[in-house]
Structure 1
Amino acid sequence: MMRDLRYAVRMLIKSPAFTLTAILAIALGIGASTVSFSIVNAVLLRPFPLMQNQERLVYLTQYFTKTAEQDAGMSFPDAVEIKKQATTLEGFGAWQDATFIITSGEKPERFLGGRISAETFSFLGVQPILGRLFRPEEDSLNAPPVALLGYHVWQNSFGGDPAIVGRQVPINGRQVTIIGVMPNGWRFPTRSDIWMPLQMEEKDHPRGDFFLGSIGLLKKGVSIEKARAELQAIGGRIAAEHPDTNTGCSIRVESFRDKMVEDSKALTLLIMAAVIFVHLIACANVANLLLARGATRTREVAIRCALGASRGQVVRGLLAESLVLGCAGSILGLLFAVWGIDLMVKAIPVEIPFWIRFDLDWRIFAFALGTGGLSSVVFGLVPALQASKPQLVDSLKEGGRSGGGAKSQRVRNGLVVAEVALALTLLIGAGLMLRSFLAIQNSDLGINPKNTLTFRVGLPPVQYPEKEVAGRFFEQLIPKLASISGVDAAGATTSLPAIGDIGTNAILIEGDEEPKQLQDARMASAATITPGYLQACGITLLRGRDFSPADTKDAPAVALI
């Protein structure tokens, strides 16, 4: 085999134009495929960083059977009951997304974070690089406030100070003791930078208020199906004890990883399929090049056969050339992929979840090299078989000038047809995607985003403990914003259009009979806005009037629908 490879290298060196063209075609196909595979690898294949026992992690949420497709989250009292009663879970944790404002520097810094039950990080298997994790008693509402910092907050806001543990830092207007620093890359559940204990009580978060995210660790040997059956039975008992809020409410249990990737899985696989079509087109191109090259080498092959070479030896020699091309193309394609992955990551316009990492690993290298080797067989076998069956007398007479017989021409025509079919399929798919994209771009959002800027304001709860106090802040802020030169209108909302989280609330319309159970209530998505918000968003009213400064809490209640 080594002799065949050495001979293949010599023959390819003699045809530099062909060799470079073939290698470049292979490299482009493998490079594009590898970049696409890196997305599949990052989203679907790579283990979540720093988590242990990932195959036993499950996502838990409550839902009403009337709207089974919608997750409701989990209420705090129900989470407490599940933790007490579940025997199939080795660990159970809950969290709530939160915003934290640090005011220790020259200017306040705002970070996304979470309030999380104390034992969650322990059963996830992650350990801090400095300090310790939360203790169970720190979940108590009256416990001294403590926090864990993310690695980037520690580095960027505190200069990587190793003495940060034990230091008190003003967070949300309170002096909070820093007890640890989490490892680089840890931002559970998605993009958190600071964590504090959950510290909740049922009187502040009654049953029927579904807002928590929940995760569980199955005991060894326990299947998801068994855990689901037990947890749904627990949900049934809770519903029987609290029919006003929990009738028709059940508990959903699914793989934590499946839950995290459910929104991106289909698109990821679609991208991979499209790029595979591109790679197959590249393989067909190289196969055509090899067929054309084989047609000019019929005299050479005929001489080898006349000297006693078997057909198998000839095929092996020609496949060796394909293998050399495939290996060279794989190496160059891998370099293209490294460059392409870097460009792709820089081009992503939004912050991605912490567990999606595009680092090169053994899967990406194996894919690139494996694709190159498989491609060598795909694009090299048919040309090798075709070239290994020369008509000896005719080929020797033609002196290598043959362009191939009718069968060779049919093979080339077939490859051309395959290329066209693949290209058309890809083109049609791309056209449909483009049409869908343009339809989304041109769809009426109900707002005019042109020249509209958004920003978030986080108010420390210590300084603004009451809604009325926070309301007065915005009553003063918005007129000041509207008075800035160049600003036509300003307003505030609890949920930005199209991208904000809108809460769902039970509503009672005048004249309706009050429902006995929450599942029978009218449900509506609601957001709170200030005067000026509609004008700032370019939203026009069909009927009626906008809110005005006179619509205070002491005035008659009003609403827009």
Structure 2
Amino acid sequence: MDSLRQDFRYALRTLRHTPGFTLAAVVTLALAIGANTVLFSAIHAMLLKPLPFREPETLVRLWCEQQDFLHASVSPPELLGWREHGRSFEQLAGFTRRDLSRTGADAAERVRAARVTTNFFQTLGVTPAHGRDFQQEDAQPDNPPSSVVVSHAFWKKALGGASDAVGGTVQLDGRTYTVVGVLPEGFSFPDFGEDVDVWQPHWLNPEAHGNHYMGIVGRMAPGVTLEAATADLERVAQLIARPGAPGDKHHGVTTDLWQRHLTSSSRPVLWALWAAVGFVLLIACANVANLLLVRALARQRDSAIRAALGASRGRRIQQALAESVLLGLVGGLVGLLLVMWGMELVRALLPPSMLRMTPVELSVPALLFSVALSLGAGLLFGLAPALHTSGADVLPLLKQSGSAVGARANHPLRNALVAVQLALALVLLVGTVLMVQTLRNMQAVDPGFDAEGVLHVRLALPDLKYGSLDKQRGFFADYLERLRALPNVEAVGMVNDAPLGGSNTNGDFVLEGAPQDPGRRYVTEFRVASPGYFQALRAALREGRDFDGRDSQKGAPSVIVNEAFVRKFLGGGEALGRRIRVDWSDSQPFRDIVGVVADVRHNRLTEPAQPEVYLPYEQYPVPTMSLLLRTSREPSTLVAAVRQELKAVDAEQPAYDVAPFVDRMDRQVSRPLATARLLAAFAALAVVLAGVGVYGVMAYAVGQRTRELGIRLALGAHPRQVLGLVMRQGLMLTLLGVGVGLLAAFGCMRLLATLLYGVKANEPVVFLGVAAALGLVSLLATWIPALRASRVSPSVSLRAE
């Protein structure tokens, strides 16, 4: 231990006497170690840290597998059948989101609510902090629920955190509910995009066949594997199937471990970025190793003197490693200062629902990882120079003068380290260019509508006040008329599921005149829209007409379809005049196709448009709608007027998700944009480090060959020949690094394949372009010392040692 303390004190003195070297090495390592710590924190929070529920490894998400939909919602009869006949799950719970309005306060406000089966919290292993959980009698078939469990945040904000809140009441959608429990602080359900304020018990209607609206989470029985549980439910699905029943078809079952499903979209991004920062760390280590090797070669005679005085090779290696480990630890300490800034960048890549439950922060595991990485990096970049210099023959070194030691210009270890830097930098550059091209492709996608100048408003009418369809029609008719009268409003329309909002509705339909094959199902996406909706979004009408007064409650049943519907189900032929029936029950009438609208990318910009059928609102009213206002002004300037007009129609009705529609477009590209920015930053750092590495090797080689080059010039060599001699050495180094990098990039780009859009992971043009650009950087770094060598006076060169 005494010798180790002495070595660290000596290393500290040495680093203090070379501030330029120390600063360059510490900054390089700080950037690399800090970036790795940030990515580890995100991976630990998202992928490695268990979900904050009891035995999270047994929690499973389940879906109904339909003909064209692998992850479809589940109907109540299916859930009841899975519970009754399944043997692989201890609990199966259902959930669905809704929005309520809270009355009785100064102004109506939106309340985020969820309806769940009474065993929901028991399935998750969550016990209310105050009061009780739901009981079976809280959900009765004949009466609407009268009890609720509230979140800790809602208890604090809306109920004042009162100790007697349990047993008290709250007004929601005009009904009075009794608060029976308060959930623990920090509880969050990650399948919902927002934290829920109020939880309601939900009764499962055994006759609601074909009504798919629930999400399902289950807890597997002890010792049961996911594969066995899936097979068991597939057996049950066959058992409870009702072939030929109206509105109901046989469905399969899709399952996935809950945590794996929640992180499925973030996992490829995180692993790809961690690979990128890992490359940056390797480049940084190679760069610092090169710097240490230069210092070690210049100090070989000192090492030889120590060996002559009796110092063992292990003792000399320990002394060299003490300096490199000290550099690594200081670099890691400085890197921690950059972590908090880097956390904000990484959070932009992750689902907000998961961040609420498992925040990305500088945790104890992250700190331990940073320390281990600092020590490991110090050993990594210090070991090769230490082993190389400590193994040199002592006697030849002692016979040489101090300035002659280490005079070998073309050192293979230094060349290899620079080639590694070039190869890793090329991999990062290729990934960056592919992600930037993906971002450009996404921004160039035609979504089928114009989001600029549109304001979005979401409304959910309460059942008690607007239980009848006529009341719903009357409310929206009055409100839409007021909105159309606002200054600078060009068009107003509404739809139940607006594009890029994360919600969707699909179902079966019957095409009149088509063969009725019992084994074949026609499935499409359904929208409920009003006149003016397509004008508000500027979605082009290709054929026929828009909805108008002819599509009233008493008018002929009608629909509008999109081009994808025509291509898939009508073979691209004539659509106008054809008729379809929504196959939710035999009582639905056949509806005339009166128009064909352009395709709209509804789910994601990167997904092609699906077949869609638009039902007129007057003929098929629903209580929850999105209103879209196109204005000639900035959309946000309409917010106050929109709320004022809503208050005039119904002061107890809150509006939510009031925002410019272009925000939805921005959210679609936010993750690729953040990924591209991070990769660009890492790639820029890698290119700078690689360029500095090439420059350092060539400058050192030129310095060591000054006497040789002077002799060549004195004997009549032209400066261009000296320039070419040095450039050839740099060219060979560049070709080696770029060649290895191209091979590595072809293998590594598979990590990015799931993140790319409109560009192939092995795009030859990208690979060759990046290779050429990096080669130019490397040759430029070579050209500077080569040019200096060709301009040195022969007399000066001959006097140099």
For the superposition of Structure 1 and Structure 2, which TM-score range results when normalised by the shorter chain? over 0.9
**Which residue is equivalent to 1:97?**
97
CA change 1:417–1:341 in 2 (3 A) is same
Alignment of 1:488-503 (within 5 A): 488-503=490-505
Answer whether contact 2:95 2:214 (CA < 8 A) is retained: yes
TM-score by length of 2: 0.66
Q: How far off its partner does 1:405 sit? A: 4.5
Alignment of 1:503-518 (within 5 A): 503-514=505-516, 516=518
Answer whether contact 1:292 1:403 (CA < 8 A) is retained: no
- State the secondary structure of the residue aligned to 1:211: coil
Alignment of 1:147-186 (within 5 A): 147-186=148-187
CA change 1:399–1:23 in 2 (3 A) is farther
**Which residue is equivalent to 2:541?**
541
Q: Distance in 1 between matches of 2:389 and 2:245?
A: 79
1:134-192 Cα shifts (integer Å, max 9, x gaps): 11211223265111222222333333333322221111221111122212321214333
- Asked whether 1:233 is paired with 2:235, we answer yes
* Aligned AA (1:433): M
CA change 1:212–1:300 in 2 (3 A) is same
Q: Distance in 2 between matches of 1:390 and 1:400?
A: 15
**Which residue is equivalent to 1:451?**
453
Q: Distance in 1 between matches of 2:106 and 2:483?
A: 23
* Aligned AA (2:5): M
1:433-471 Cα shifts (integer Å, max 9, x gaps): 110111001100001111222121121121111344223
- Asked whether 1:296 is paired with 2:298, we answer yes
1:326-363 Cα shifts (integer Å, max 9, x gaps): 12222222232133214644x57974333342133233
Identity %: 32
Q: How far off its partner does 1:389 sit? A: 3.5
1:515-556 Cα shifts (integer Å, max 9, x gaps): 54xx62211111111111111112121222221244212111
CA change 1:439–1:143 in 2 (3 A) is closer
Q: Distance in 2 between matches of 1:558 and 1:282?
A: 66
Alignment of 1:134-149 (within 5 A): 134-141=134-141, 142=143, 144-149=145-150
Q: How far off its partner does 1:507 sit? A: 1.3
Q: Distance in 2 between matches of 1:244 and 1:199?
A: 23
Q: 1:439 aligns with which of 435, 438, 441?
A: 441
Answer whether contact 2:243 2:250 (CA < 8 A) is retained: no
Answer whether contact 1:448 1:538 (CA < 8 A) is retained: yes
Answer whether contact 1:137 1:143 (CA < 8 A) is retained: no
Give 1 or 2 for the bigger CA radius of gyration: 2
Q: Which structure would you say has the larger RCO, counting Cα contacts within 8 Å and 6 or more residues apart? A: 1
Q: Distance in 2 between matches of 1:348 and 1:59?
A: 23
1:105-145 Cα shifts (integer Å, max 9, x gaps): 22222233311111121231112222221112112232651
Q: 1:19 aligns with which of 6, 15, 22?
A: 22
Q: How far off its partner does 1:238 sit? A: 0.7
Moved more, 281-290 or 434-443: 281-290
Q: 1:197 aligns with which of 201, 223, 241?
A: 201
* Aligned AA (2:90): E
1:371-407 Cα shifts (integer Å, max 9, x gaps): 2122112211112122323454554566554573448
Q: Distance in 2 between matches of 1:342 and 1:159?
A: 32
Q: Distance in 2 between matches of 1:105 and 1:419?
A: 64
Q: Distance in 1 between matches of 2:407 and 2:496?
A: 74
Q: Distance in 2 between matches of 1:467 and 1:276?
A: 60
Q: 2:279 aligns with which of 263, 277, 280?
A: 277
Q: How far off its partner does 1:244 sit? A: 5.7
Alignment of 1:7-86 (within 5 A): 7-49=10-52, 51-64=53-66, 66-67=67-68, 70-86=70-86
Q: Distance in 1 between matches of 2:38 and 2:269?
A: 15
Q: How far off its partner does 1:291 sit? A: 1.7
CA change 1:297–1:155 in 2 (3 A) is farther
Q: 2:211 aligns with which of 209, 212, 217?
A: 209
Structure 2: gaps spanning 5 or more residues = 562-801
**Which residue is equivalent to 2:757?**
none
Answer whether contact 1:110 1:458 (CA < 8 A) is retained: no
Q: Distance in 2 between matches of 1:307 and 1:316?
A: 16
Q: Distance in 2 between matches of 1:402 and 1:153?
A: 77
**Which residue is equivalent to 1:478?**
480
* Aligned AA (1:167): G
* Aligned AA (1:380): G
Q: Distance in 2 between matches of 1:415 and 1:277?
A: 13
Q: Distance in 2 between matches of 1:432 and 1:215?
A: 37
Answer whether contact 2:243 2:249 (CA < 8 A) is retained: no
CA change 1:402–1:448 in 2 (3 A) is farther
* Aligned AA (1:8): A
- State the secondary structure of the residue aligned to 2:551: coil
CA change 1:197–1:308 in 2 (3 A) is same
CA change 1:360–1:135 in 2 (3 A) is farther
Q: Distance in 1 between matches of 2:509 and 2:537?
A: 26
* Aligned AA (1:455): V
- Number of residue-to-residue matches in the alignment: 553
CA change 1:79–1:292 in 2 (3 A) is same
CA change 1:210–1:11 in 2 (3 A) is same
Q: Distance in 1 between matches of 2:484 and 2:144?
A: 42
Answer whether contact 2:42 2:346 (CA < 8 A) is retained: no
Answer whether contact 1:295 1:403 (CA < 8 A) is retained: yes
* Aligned AA (1:383): P
Q: Distance in 2 between matches of 1:543 and 1:448?
A: 19
Q: Distance in 2 between matches of 1:91 and 1:500?
A: 28
**Which residue is equivalent to 1:264?**
266
Q: How far off its partner does 1:408 sit? A: 6.9
CA change 1:341–1:220 in 2 (3 A) is same
Structure 1: gaps spanning 5 or more residues = none
Q: How far off its partner does 1:4 sit? A: 2.6
Answer whether contact 1:341 1:358 (CA < 8 A) is retained: yes
Q: How far off its partner does 1:235 sit? A: 0.9
* Aligned AA (2:165): I
Answer whether contact 1:96 1:198 (CA < 8 A) is retained: no
* Aligned AA (1:170): Q
* Aligned AA (2:206): E
**Which residue is equivalent to 1:2?**
5
Superposition RMSD in Å: 2.4
CA change 1:538–1:246 in 2 (3 A) is closer
1:211-254 Cα shifts (integer Å, max 9, x gaps): 21111111222222222222111111012677666654222232
CA change 1:48–1:403 in 2 (3 A) is farther
Q: How far off its partner does 1:486 sit? A: 2.5
**Which residue is equivalent to 1:127?**
127
Answer whether contact 1:62 1:71 (CA < 8 A) is retained: yes
Q: How far off its partner does 1:512 sit? A: 2.5
**Which residue is equivalent to 2:722?**
none
Answer whether contact 2:145 2:201 (CA < 8 A) is retained: no
Answer whether contact 2:313 2:390 (CA < 8 A) is retained: yes
CA change 1:266–1:467 in 2 (3 A) is farther
Q: 2:313 aligns with which of 291, 297, 311?
A: 311
Q: Distance in 2 between matches of 1:403 and 1:96?
A: 76
* Aligned AA (2:6): R
